[in-house]
Structure 1
Amino acid sequence: MSKLGDYTILPIAIPPSSAFPKPATHTLYLRPHAPKIPTDNDSRSLFVVNVPMDSTPAHFKAVFVSLIGAGRFESITFEHENRPSRAPNSEIDVAVKKGKKRKRMTNEETIEVDVELPPVWDRELRRSGSTALVVFVDQKSVELALKAVRKLHKSHAKPGKWPIWGEGVEDKVPALGSARYLTHHKMRYPGHAMLQANIDTFMTDWNKREEEKTRLTKKQRNVPDEDGFITVTRGGRTGPARIEDAEAKRLEKEEKERRKLEGLSEKPFYRFQLREIRKAEQAELVKRFEEDKARLLRMKEKRGRFKPER
């Protein structure tokens, strides 16, 4: 059986080892990559299911080289990885450093500093049954890979004819088993130079953040708030706000309150506010009418009666 639903079945031969002295077969499931959100590399990518636990880019490169030849495999991204892992031409750089964040507490806030911690494992293992995304140089390479797998199924290939897992990469990847844990034990205690470089990086970043924090604190000491007061900060004493600044802030606050009240009267929200506004407008009109009427009477008394000339 060469297919299972949309997946093409690719058996790979697992050679005997000290942990399991008999040959075994592991099955990979391949299909063209078709995510819900398309990307530029979908047409030249293969989605792989049931990735072996000891997978590395070099292992997958060797598998596809045995199927379609060299020069067509570009990169692979394993599950939970953010960037593609490229298979190098020579040895694999196993001392990959991963960026971490350390939190250092202060009395006022928590500051996060980015540092690079020394690695403690020389090789990453995959979750059982995990997935990966293989990227080729072009779409034709994807078609050739699937075609090569189907061709092996049609020829009724024996287990020895399937791609052999790890063939040709023995000297390019770190060893597993007890050697892996011995290396892990040594890497847990890095040398003085590596520790010093890690500490220097941490302290340099920390000092930069502290200097920025100090600069902002000094700036706040001379800027009064809206009530005319200056924020009390740690690291020194400062005098009260100047009278001119405090008075300017007070006038600015009163102006904001006045505009707020005017905006409320211009755009009333409740019905009783509308009634009050209408009553006030009517009272203002009556008041102005009475004032105008009284002013006309005073003018008439002052000028006397008008006598036209004959």
Structure 2
Amino acid sequence: MSQIGNYTILPLTIPSTPAYPKPTTHTIYLRPHTPKIPTADDARSLFLVNVPIDSTSAHLRSVFSSLLGAGKFESCSFEHERKQPGNAVALISAKGSKKRKRGQEEDEVKMVELPRIWDRELRRSGSTAVVVLVDEKSVELALKTIRKLHRKSSKSKSGDVWPVWGEGVPESSQITGSKRYLLHNELRFPNPREIQANIDAFMTSFNSQESSRALSAKRARNEPDEDGFITVTRGGRVGPARAEEVERKRVEMEDKEKRKREEMERGGFYRFQTRERRKEEQGEMIRRFEEDRRRVEVLKASRRSKFVPEK
């Protein structure tokens, strides 16, 4: 059987080791990658399930090179793989530990990698991975090659047709059993020179950030903000802000308030104010009309009193 549902079955030959002296078989299930959020590389990607716990990019490259030939494998990513190193210390930048107000940018985090205490990361049993090949044809060719190997395996008596896990991978990636734990014990106590170099790098970055923080605080003590106020910060007293800067800020604030009052007076902030203003304008127009009408009547009456008909 070469397929279960949408998954194609790929058996792998696990060679014998000192811990387990008999060769065995591990099965990987793969299908074309169709994530919920599409990406540009989906058409040339394969989704793998049940990858071995000691999987690395070199292991999967070896497997697909045996299936497709060299140069077809591009990259791979494992389940829950972190973007940042697992053994790293975060250094907060000079901007502080929280977001600043008035739309300033968030803190920048610089990662300083610590010495590793394991030779490589082990995968969770039954975990998944995504393999990106060079093109879409390589995906189709990989699935077609696996089906051919199934037919060949059913006819072969030995059954040695499947890719060998770890073949062509450097020895450092194949350390297993007690050797791996001995290496782990050695890595737990790194060379003092390596520790000192790591400490020096950490302190250099920390001192640089402290200097930037002190410079930012000094500038904040000398420069007024957009409202004309001086930020109160730690670090001792320094000279006050320049008088012309404070005066300029004060004039800008007064102009801003004046424009705001004029806009409020013209349009009104609330709807009822607009209605009241229209009623007042309408009443003023009616009053002026009545005054003009009475004035015209008075003029007409005075003209009639002065008119004397001819005899």
User: What does the per-residue CA deviation read over 1:59-89, in whole Å, with 9 as the maximum and x for residues that have no partner?
Assistant: 2233233334444333332223378xxxxxx
CA shift at 1:175, angstroms? 0.7
Distance in 2 of aligned mates of 1:241 and 1:44: 62
* CA 126–20 in structure 1, closer or farther in 2 if over 3 Å, else same: same
Match of residue 76 from structure 1: 76
Identity, % of aligned positions: 57
Are residues 1:149 and 2:146 paired? yes
Are residues 1:102 and 2:90 paired? yes
* CA 152–231 in structure 1, closer or farther in 2 if over 3 Å, else same: closer
Distance in 2 of aligned mates of 1:200 and 1:117: 12
User: What does the per-residue CA deviation read over 1:31-58, in whole Å, with 9 as the maximum and x for residues that have no partner?
Assistant: 2233444444434332211111111233
Distance in 1 of aligned mates of 2:272 and 2:143: 78
Distance in 1 of aligned mates of 2:208 and 2:12: 53
Do 2:52 and 2:123's aligned partners in 1 also have CA atoms closer than 8 Å? yes
For residue 213 of structure 2, give the secondary structure of its aligned residue in structure 1. helix
Match of residue 115 from structure 2: 118
Distance in 2 of aligned mates of 1:214 and 1:170: 49
Q: Which runs of 5+ in 2 are unaligned?
A: 99-106, 290-311
Are residues 1:203 and 2:203 paired? yes
CA shift at 1:2, angstroms? 0.8
For residue 161 of structure 1, give the secondary structure of its aligned residue in structure 2. coil
User: What does the per-residue CA deviation read over 1:147-176, in whole Å, with 9 as the maximum and x for residues that have no partner?
Assistant: 221112223155543333234437252411
Identify which range, 236-245 or 263-272, moves more after superposition.
236-245
Identify which range, 205-214 or 45-54, moves more after superposition.
205-214
Q: Which runs of 5+ in 1 are unaligned?
A: 84-95, 290-310
So what's the TM-score if we normalise by structure 2? 0.72
Distance in 1 of aligned mates of 2:170 and 2:225: 69
Distance in 2 of aligned mates of 1:56 and 1:227: 57
* CA 247–147 in structure 1, closer or farther in 2 if over 3 Å, else same: closer
CA shift at 1:269, angstroms? 4.0
For residue 66 of structure 2, give the secondary structure of its aligned residue in structure 1. helix
Distance in 1 of aligned mates of 2:220 and 2:124: 52
Do 2:44 and 2:135's aligned partners in 1 also have CA atoms closer than 8 Å? yes
Do 2:52 and 2:125's aligned partners in 1 also have CA atoms closer than 8 Å? yes
* CA 65–265 in structure 1, closer or farther in 2 if over 3 Å, else same: same
* CA 241–81 in structure 1, closer or farther in 2 if over 3 Å, else same: closer
Distance in 1 of aligned mates of 2:71 and 2:148: 21
Are residues 1:217 and 2:217 paired? yes
Do 2:267 and 2:274's aligned partners in 1 also have CA atoms closer than 8 Å? no
Residue type of the partner of 1:100? Answer: A
Count of residue pairs the alignment pairs up: 276
Do 1:46 and 1:142's aligned partners in 2 also have CA atoms closer than 8 Å? yes
Distance in 1 of aligned mates of 2:71 and 2:247: 76
Distance in 1 of aligned mates of 2:256 and 2:223: 20
Do 1:229 and 1:240's aligned partners in 2 also have CA atoms closer than 8 Å? no
Out of 110, 129, 139, the position equivalent to 1:132 is 129
For residue 124 of structure 2, give the secondary structure of its aligned residue in structure 1. coil
The equivalences for 1:175-190 within 5 A come to 175-190=175-190
So what's the TM-score if we normalise by structure 1? 0.72
CA shift at 1:125, angstroms? 0.8
The equivalences for 1:1-310 within 5 A come to 1-81=1-81, 100-103=88-91, 109=97, 112-155=109-152, 156=154, 157=156, 159-169=159-169, 171-225=171-225, 228-241=228-241, 244-274=244-274, 276-278=276-278
CA shift at 1:237, angstroms? 1.1
* CA 277–100 in structure 1, closer or farther in 2 if over 3 Å, else same: farther
User: What does the per-residue CA deviation read over 1:94-135, in whole Å, with 9 as the maximum and x for residues that have no partner?
Assistant: xx97673425699x7467442121111111111111112223
Moved over 6 A (4+): 282-289
Identify which range, 69-78 or 27-36, moves more after superposition.
69-78
Match of residue 296 from structure 2: none
